[in-house]
Amino acid sequence: MGTKYGELDRYLFHQGTAGYAYHYLGAHRMDDGYAFRVWAPNADGVWVSGDFNDWQLTCPMERISEAGIWEAVLPPNAVKAGDAYKFCIASGERRIWKADPYARYSEPAPGTNSRIWEAEPYAWQDAAWMRRRRQVAERYYQSPMNIYEMHLGSWHRREDGTYLSYREIADLLAPYLTDMGYTHVELMPVMEHPFDGSWGYQVCGYYNPMPRYGTPDDFRYFVDTMHQSGIGVLLDWVPAHFPKDAYGLYEFDGRPLYEYQGMDRMENRGWGTRCFDVGREEVQSFLVSNATYWAKEFHADGLRVDAVTSMLYLDYDRDSGQWLPNVHGDNRNLESIAFFKKLNAHMRRECPGVLMIAEESTAFPHVTGEDREGLGFHLKWNMGWMNDTLFYAEKDPLYRAYHHDKLTFSLMFAFNERFVLPISHDEVVHGKKSLIDKMPGDYWKKFAGARLFAAYQMLHPGKKLTFMGNEIGQFREWAYEGEIEWFLLDEYATHRKHKAFVKALNAFYLAEPALWQVDDSFDGFKWIDADDKDRSITSFRRIDKNGRELIAVLNFTPVTYEDFLLEVPADGTYAEVFNTDDTAFGGSGVTNTGVQFRSEQMGGKHAVRLRVPPLGVTVLRCVRKRATRKPGRT
CB atoms within 10 A of CB 197: 8
**CATH 2.60.40.1180 location in the chain:** 522-625
> How do strand 273-275 and strand 302-305 relate by DSSP bridges?
unpaired
557 neighbors 615 (Cβ within 8 angstroms): yes
> What are the residues facing 420 on neighbouring strands?
381, 463
Q: Which of 234, 239, 229 is nearest to 259 (CA)?
A: 239
Q: Which of 515, 618, 473 is nearest to 146 (CA)?
A: 515
Dump pLDDT digits (tens) for 522-539.
999 999 999 999 999 999
Sign of CA dihedral 254, 256, 259, 265: positive
> Quick one: pLDDT at residue 2?
39
Reply yes or no on whether 359 is catalytic.
yes
The Cα–Cα gap between 536 and 6 comes to 67
What Å distances lie between residue 88 and 10, 46, 54, 76, 220, CA to CA?
Answer: 21, 6, 13, 22, 31
Is the predicted pLDDT of residue 557 greater than 60, yes or no?
yes
> Quick one: pLDDT at residue 136?
82
The Cα–Cα gap between 230 and 485 comes to 26
**CATH 2.60.40.10 location in the chain:** 7-115
- Total-model pTM: 0.96
CB atoms within 10 A of CB 158: 11
Is the predicted pLDDT of residue 149 greater than 80, yes or no?
yes
The Cα–Cα gap between 17 and 465 comes to 33
Mean pLDDT over 610-622 rounds to 98
Residue 104 exposure: Cα atoms within 13 Å on the Cβ side: 25
Dump pLDDT digits (tens) for 352-361.
999 999 999 9
Q: What confidence category does residue 634 fall into, taking pLDDT thresholds of 50, 70 and 90?
A: very low
> Quick one: pLDDT at residue 465?
98
CB atoms within 10 A of CB 74: 18
Q: Which of 9, 71, 186, 359 is catalytic?
A: 359
Mean pLDDT over 309-334 rounds to 96
Contacts 24+ apart (CB under 8 A), 266-273: 268/240, 268/241, 268/310, 268/316, 268/317, 269/317, 269/318, 270/317, 271/202, 271/241, 272/243, 272/244, 273/202, 273/241, 273/242, 273/243, 273/244
- The CATH number for 7-115, chosen from 2.60.40.10, 3.40.190.10, 2.40.30.60, 3.40.50.2300, is 2.60.40.10
CB atoms within 10 A of CB 542: 25
> Quick one: pLDDT at residue 1?
32
**Alpha helices (H) in 107-155, listed in sequence order:** 127-135, 152-155
Q: Which of 306, 388, 483, 512 is catalytic?
A: 306
Helix (H, G, I), strand (E, B) or coil at 401: helix
> Quick one: pLDDT at residue 632?
55
Is the predicted pLDDT of residue 3 greater than 50, yes or no?
no
> Quick one: pLDDT at residue 137?
78
The Cα–Cα gap between 481 and 487 comes to 17
CATH topology of domain 522-625: Immunoglobulin-like (2.60.40)
Measure the CA dihedral 554/559/562/564, to 10°.
Answer: -40
